[in-house]
Each structure stands twice: as structure tokens, then as C-alpha cells.
Structure 1
Amino acid sequence: MKEAISAAGAAAAAALIALWGWRKKKGSRKRKRDRVIGVIPARFQSVRFPGKPLVKILGVPMVVRTWQQACLCKTLSKVIVATDDDRIAEACRQEGAEVVMTSVSCANGTERCHEAVTKMPGEYDIVINIQGDEPLIDPHVIDDTVKALQESPDSVYSTACTPLAHEDVDTRVRVKCILDKFGYAMYFSRGVLPQNKDGQVRAYPSPFQDRPYLLHLGLACFDRAFLAQYCKMPPTPLMLMEDLEQLKVLENGYKIKVIVVEHEAHGVDEPEDVTKIEEKMRKLGLPSRAAALV
């Protein structure tokens, strides 16, 4: 009897060792994940800014401006707008954008991206969620975020951050991030992050001594298989507390690869931000019916 138990134990141990070796080998091999789709989720309803996707930025709907920027990317095989609103769909189609209609029951942009890609023909390895309220998003930042995931086989998600000026650290609409020394996300928060015992916003040892706080730019680049799994996961405590979807990734033990770029964020959170965006576009010399960066 003891010999049978011993043999069974040895067999189980051998199986675990083999499985561990397979996972290690699998994790060390770079997966190409070349087929990439960019999705811009857009909904009409917004607590702070109803109808935001259709607000005109120098005569062009904001969501269209974002789509135009995304179309300049080199890594994206396709760019679509995902919405449940006929007004948004019509405005995008008039400008040439491909639109996928999604359910009104989507709880957030991530679920909307997943549903839209599920309805698309063809297979994709990576899905990048591009927020529609960044009409001046740099295509290079999108490309670099995609490449970060492609080059990090141990990650299921990648995103981008940029140094944040001290005067903006206390702003709740600015999501902050902290990283480990290998470039993986440790945490995201709407509060001051990192915090210190005296509660003061000040420099701390980092590669960015003048602007050590990091602003999350909002790009969410998913491994396609993980995105389907993510949407089935129940909400997590920190995700609900901070109202930040990416925390569910970390709370479930998965890795998020982060790139740090020099990029001036131009997100539209409130109506007064529209004027700031238009002023910036005029300084860049952008005509009213174009969105290419110079």
C-alpha cells in the first residue's frame, strides 16, 4: 500500500515538475501577437459631460478626431469605433470610420471593446482600448504601448504614463501610477501616489527628479485571450474603491507592463477643456478638418 502511495506521489510530483517546466518555457518565449485592433469605445451618456464624444473640436466631433489619430498608427491592423448610440455611429460613419454597434448593457469601455471585437470577422492577438476623449493622442504612444505588450510575454496588459507636474498631482481626475524597477505597474490611484508621511507633494528619488509623479494616459492594451477572461472576472475591492478598471488585473495577480513617455495629455474631462484643446491645435497649426500631428 505504501509503495502504491509512494509511486502515486512520485508520479504527481513528476507531473508538476513537467508542468512547471512547460509554463516556464512558454513564458520565456516571446509571442509575436502581431494582429492588433484598436477600439475606441464611445457612449453618449456621461455624468459630467453628456454627449462628449460628439462635441466639436475645430468643427470635427471629438471621437472622430481620436479615430483619425489612431489611424496614423503603424501597429494597428484595424481601427473601429464601438458605440451603442446611433448619433455617434452616424457622425463617425460620415467621416469614414468603421463602427460596430454594441449593447447598452456594457458596464464600461472594456466590456464594449470585448463585445465589439467578438462581432468582428477575423482573429486578433491584441486589443487596445483607445479613449475617445484624447483627440490629440500621439500615434507613436499608441504604437509603443502595443510594442510593450508584444515584447513582454509575461504580461497580459500594457499601458502608458507620462511625468506629471506637481501642481496637478492633487487633481482627482488625473490617475497616477507607480512602477517597480522593471517597469511593471504596482498600483494606480486617483489620489496622491506615491504618498509620504507628511502628506506633501514633493520630489522623491526617481529617474524624473523634476516631475517624479506619473500620470496614466488611459490606454489599455489587452492580450485578446485575457480580455475575454477579464470580462468574466467579478469586480475586485480596489477596483471598486478607486473606480479604476486596471486594478482588477493587478488584484488577480497579473502583470501590467508600463512605458513612460514624454507626452502632454490633452484629455477632455469637462466642457472647459474643449477650448484648451482647440487652442493647442491652433498652435500646432492644425486645420479645422485635419488631425495629423506636426
Structure 2
Amino acid sequence: MNPMSICTSSSSSSSSTGSSSSSTKAWIVHGVVVGAAVAVALGAHAYLALTRSAKFRSRVVGIIPARFASSRFQGKPLVQILGKPMIQRTWERAKMATTLDQVVVATDDEKIAECCRGFGADVIMTSESCQNGTERCNEALEKLEKKYDVVVNIQGDEPLIEPEVIDGIVKALQAAPDAVFSTAVTSLKPEDAFDPNRVKCVVDTRGYAVYFSRGLIPYNKSGKVNPHFPYLLHLGIQSYDTKFLKIYPKLPPTPLQLEEDLEQLKVLENGYKMKVIKVNHEAHGVDTPEDVEKIERFMRESNWS
């Protein structure tokens, strides 16, 4: 990883350590035999025709939505992570993914835009009225000159995201034509079980999302963490079929979405399918200013540059 100040940028690319990268290369699609599942949904003939087509969801763009105003952490995209803005660290990680044809930053703030242009990122200016990252991705997509089949929403507050995780959710969506959305989960640490900033997820036996919550799910009768249960932590990264992304902003808010303040629930409540992969990833999201010190300590201990 490469350090830099808020708006004086160095254009050097980041490099991850061998240990960090190798730990996530073993990503697996969680609990699913993709061929059998999709064949049931579409019919074997249609499924085989789709999977034979090299053009199916082949054009992929990565978009990093970034806004300056935040109730929990004002100016978060520009916060320094070992001397470099967090948004640059995220962009550099995304550029390493092999499935992305282009990576852009979508923002409504000129300070963020200027900083990103300084380290070489493509920037799309979006309106302040976007309610969440998904809507910001949709607006940015409409302003791009090229047409894409898949959009990857790369959360800017996960600056150590592994390129293999990005590639994993793209390939999962390409392999599941009955899904319009894909995302990733990893193992939940017991100490994060009741942290509302750590979103939990449950999936069915075919690897499709059942529910997301800020509370602990599943929740047992004892009200305590079961040390033997494989709880799942949702990673913020997600990808969408672009046809669905154009529909998403027009869908009215849903009760569960509003109550949990989780945009993924609007997808599920409207009956759309979401593919989930489980990855081995050390999640280091930055939700509050206190998280910056934690992530910098981890990077030093892991010899990240």
C-alpha cells in the first residue's frame, strides 16, 4: 500500500503482501452447486445456452461511491491511512481486480474529486440527492460513455479489500443468471456479534441471501453468542446486473430496509435474488474515527506499505 497526503497525491500503485493476498485466493461460493440450482430456476436448456455465451454479463465496471458528508464520520474518504487518503487505497486495491474493465470514483464533493484526479482516478460527479451508494452507482453508470453489464459497488471504507473478493462476486453473478445482485460474507468474530456497525447475513443452502441485520442472526434462546455456530459478517462490496440497477432507484423504500437502514433488504423484500459467496477475508472497515488507528496498527503488523 502507498502513503500520501489528503490532496497531494502520489500516483504509485499499491502492492499487497503475499500472506494477505494468498489468504483470500481460496474464496469459495458458499453452499451452492451453481449448475444444478440455476438449471432448476431457468430450465437446463436455457441455462446451458446462457453459460455458453461468452458475452453474458461480460462488461464490468467498478464504481467507488464517496461522499464527504457523513453523520458518523465527516470527510471519511479523505482520512489518512498511513499517510494516504483512504479513497486512494480503495481505488488502488480495486485496480488490481482482473474482472474490472474500468474503475471510477462517484462523488458529489469537489474536494474528493480533486484529490482522486490527483492520483489518477476517473471521477464521475453525482448529485447530493443520492440516498445511498447504490443510487450513486446508478447515476454514475448513466453518465459513463461505455455500456456495462455488471456494476461493482466497492465501498470506500474497506481500504484493504482484496482484489480476489471483487473478482469472486463478479464471477458469482455471471454464473447465476437468476440473481440480480451478488455480495460477499466472511466469518464473524465473536467480539463483533452485537456491534450494529457489523452487518450480519444468513444464506440458504443454495448460496442465496435470506436476510441481513445489524443485530445478531440467527438469534438463539439463550441470547448469547454460540461459539460453535458459523455466523457470517457481510462485507460491503456488492455487484449488480445493470438492468436491475436501473430499476432499483424506482423501487419504493421497504419496511425492513427502513428499520434496519440496510439497502440490501429492499432488494430481498421486492422478491429479487441475491447471490452470496463466502470468503476468507480479514474485514477492516472504517466506520468511526477510532477504526483508523486499528487499521493502521494492522497494516504495520502485516507489513503493508
Give the TM-score range, shorter chain.
Answer: 0.7 to 0.9
| Alignment match, 2:7 | none
Structure 1 residues 60-100: Cα deviation after superposition (integer angstroms, max 9, x where no partner): 11011100000000000000000010000011110111100
| Alignment match, 1:153 | 177
C-alpha distance in structure 1 between counterparts of 2:142 and 2:222, whole Å: 49
| Alignment match, 2:138 | 114
| Alignment match, 1:100 | 124
The secondary structure found in structure 1 opposite 2:103 is strand
| Alignment match, 2:272 | 254
Mark the runs of 5 or more structure 1 residues left unpaired by the alignment: 1-22, 204-208, 288-294
C-alpha distance in structure 2 between counterparts of 1:166 and 1:59, whole Å: 31
Structure 1 residues 196-231: Cα deviation after superposition (integer angstroms, max 9, x where no partner): 12222104xxxxx4x611000011210000000111
Indicate the RMSD between aligned Cα atoms, in angstroms.
Answer: 1.5
Structure 1 residues 155-185: Cα deviation after superposition (integer angstroms, max 9, x where no partner): 0000000011222111111000001111110
Contact 1:27/1:154, CA 8 A, preserved across alignment: no
Alignment of 1:61 onto 2:79: no
Structure 1 residues 224-254: Cα deviation after superposition (integer angstroms, max 9, x where no partner): 0000011110111111111000111111111
The within-5 A match list for 1:39-54 is: 39-54=63-78
The secondary structure found in structure 1 opposite 2:250 is coil
C-alpha distance in structure 1 between counterparts of 2:294 and 2:63, whole Å: 25
| Displacement after TM superposition at 1:27 (Å) | 5.8
**If the length of structure 1 is used for normalisation, what is the TM-score?**
0.85
Q: Match of 1:198, as an amino acid?
A: S
| Alignment match, 1:265 | 283
The secondary structure found in structure 1 opposite 2:236 is coil
Which is greater in Rg? 1
The secondary structure found in structure 2 opposite 1:49 is coil
Alignment of 1:123 onto 2:147: yes
C-alpha distance in structure 1 between counterparts of 2:143 and 2:214, whole Å: 33
Contact 1:133/1:267, CA 8 A, preserved across alignment: yes
Contact 1:39/1:79, CA 8 A, preserved across alignment: yes
The secondary structure found in structure 1 opposite 2:197 is coil
Aligned residues: 260
- Report which structure shows greater RCO (CA 8 Å, sep ≥6): 2
| Displacement after TM superposition at 1:286 (Å) | 2.5
**If the length of structure 2 is used for normalisation, what is the TM-score?**
0.82
| Alignment match, 1:279 | 297
Contact 1:179/1:185, CA 8 A, preserved across alignment: yes
Mark the runs of 5 or more structure 2 residues left unpaired by the alignment: 1-41
Counterpart pick for 1:225 among 240, 243, 263: 243
Identity between Structure 1 and Structure 2 (%): 61
